[in-house]
Amino acid sequence: MEVERAPGQPRECSDVNGLVGWGLGTLVFAGCLLFRRPLGTAGDTVLARLDDILDHPRFARLGDGPSAVLLLVPALVILAVFGFAPLLYAVYISLFDVHAGEFVALENYVRAWNDPEFWGSIRVTIYYALGTIPTTLVLSFSIAWLLFRLGRGRGVFRTAYFLPYVTSVVAAATVWRVLLRPHSGYVNALFHAVGLPAQTWLIEQRGVLYLLTHGWFAPETGPSLALCCIIAFDVWHASGFAIVIFLAGLTAIPRELEEAAVIDGAGPFQILRNVILPLLSPTVFFLFIVSAIKAFQSFNSFYTLTNTARSTDTQNLVIYIYAQLYENQRFGYGATIAVCLCVAIVALTLLQWRFLGRKVHYE
């Protein structure tokens, strides 16, 4: 894994000193702003002088232009250099063989089209999205609904369910990885205790359908058991966020509507279906779009759970891009896949907006 990629690059952390100065400066400044400690009269004078220069009558024609330039430059420079420029740069280098330095036009795209590993990674991404999004939404809505009806003790439960979300994916996935160890893992100990055969979980490349039906399906059909473990992990990790948001949405629904439905003789499921869900549709829509985008970008859980045993059955698009960069150093081809991913995400979001957005009921 330890690849030394850039010969001639400084290995020392030579920028520490400048950085510490800069860091301390921003920290002090942010601290002053946050905790309302005035910068003292000296700071005030400096600001007043600056204001005088910026508001000089000479600039009257420009409105607040000079102040705007001063305030916007820090943010805009960073966004331009590390946000916009790389996007254009990605499209640009996707037309090149970076190592040979030659322009290859659309060759990289043709190559992607004919690359079974690329299509495999798309398949994994789609399985993953189909596996995580509906499960997370249904599960967290059910829990939020129960919590909402509960009243007392809601806070404790909410904290418990929210806990995975506030832990880092890497640390939580490390715990799961140990729990799912192939030989002596805790889950296998549980399986052993109830008389089920031990599984190899995260390194199992055969499909769940194959394992569940004892070979009725081909081993390559459907997602592998390893991928299902990753899906289960991410459902577990992301549900807390969805629960909190569903709870917020439920709390915002006026109680009178529900009461009116009860008076009209509606049962709990009718209320849920005809009153609550339509009024909750903006929340569902928001969660749907956010989790779809996230599903296409998932990296940390895939990387941590399959770190040393990476194989094509658990390689999603982002991992594949990463592999081009880190393991193969095929920058042009990696950028090509990245451009495809970007197009896919934007297209997907627009489609959802168009088709689902229409069904959303805003009060």
**CB-nearer residue toward another protein: 2 or 216:** 2
**CB-nearer residue toward another protein: 132 or 239:** 239
As a whole number of angstroms, the distance between CA 324 and CA 332 comes to 9
As a whole number of angstroms, the distance between CA 320 and CA 124 comes to 11
Q: How far is the CB of 334 from another protein (least distance, A)?
A: 5
Q: How far is the CB of 357 from another protein (least distance, A)?
A: 10
Q: Per the structure block, which two tokens stand in for 39?
A: 């910068």
As a whole number of angstroms, the distance between CA 75 and CA 261 comes to 51
**CB-nearer residue toward another protein: 119 or 286:** 286
Residue 200, classified by CB atoms within 10 Å of its CB into exposed (0-12), middle (13-18) or buried (19+), is: middle
As a whole number of angstroms, the distance between CA 269 and CA 259 comes to 14
Q: How far is the CB of 259 from another protein (least distance, A)?
A: 19
Phi, psi of 180 (to 5 degrees): -100, 20
**CB-nearer residue toward another protein: 130 or 309:** 309
Torsion of the alpha carbons at 293, 294, 297 and 300, rounded to the nearest 10: 180
Which DSSP state fits 196? P
Q: How far is the CB of 218 from another protein (least distance, A)?
A: 31
Phi, psi of 224 (to 5 degrees): -75, 165
**CB-nearer residue toward another protein: 222 or 240:** 240
Q: How far is the CB of 120 from another protein (least distance, A)?
A: 18
**CB-nearer residue toward another protein: 225 or 280:** 280
* Phi-psi region at 172: left, alpha or beta (left = phi > 0; alpha = psi -120 to 50): alpha
Q: Per the structure block, which two tokens stand in for 260?
A: 């009116």
Q: How far is the CB of 192 from another protein (least distance, A)?
A: 7
Q: How far is the CB of 131 from another protein (least distance, A)?
A: 18
Q: Going by C-beta distance under 8 Å and a sequence separation of 6 or more, which residues neighbour residue 228?
A: 131, 208
**CB-nearer residue toward another protein: 209 or 238:** 238
